[in-house]
Amino acid sequence: GARVVTPVAKEAISIRLDQDVIAFFRASGPRYQSRINAVLRSYVEQVAPTGRPARSQRAV
């Protein structure tokens, strides 16, 4: 019953964040940008209307 899920493509952007915020995430080790993305995704899921389409994932 395994299913291969390909990750949703990410877009490279430039964003200005407070130095202490960046330092906090960088101090937690590699992949700090992925953790920032996870925090932002969690926020979006909490404040988005309930009728919002689910995050798209393609099953192969």
Average pLDDT value for residue range 52-56: 57
pLDDT 10s digits, 8-36: 889 999 999 999 999 999 999 999 999 99
> Given a cut of 70, is residue 54 above it in pLDDT?
no
pTM metric for this prediction: 0.68
> Given a cut of 60, is residue 53 above it in pLDDT?
no
Residue 56: pLDDT band (50, 70, 90) is low
Q: Are 57 and 6 in contact (CB under 8 A)?
A: yes
Q: Which residues contact 8 (CB under 8 A, 6 or more apart)?
A: 55, 56, 57
Partnered with residue 6 across adjacent β-strands are: 58
Task: Provide the residue ranges of all domains of the chain, joining segments of one domain with +.
Answer: 5-48
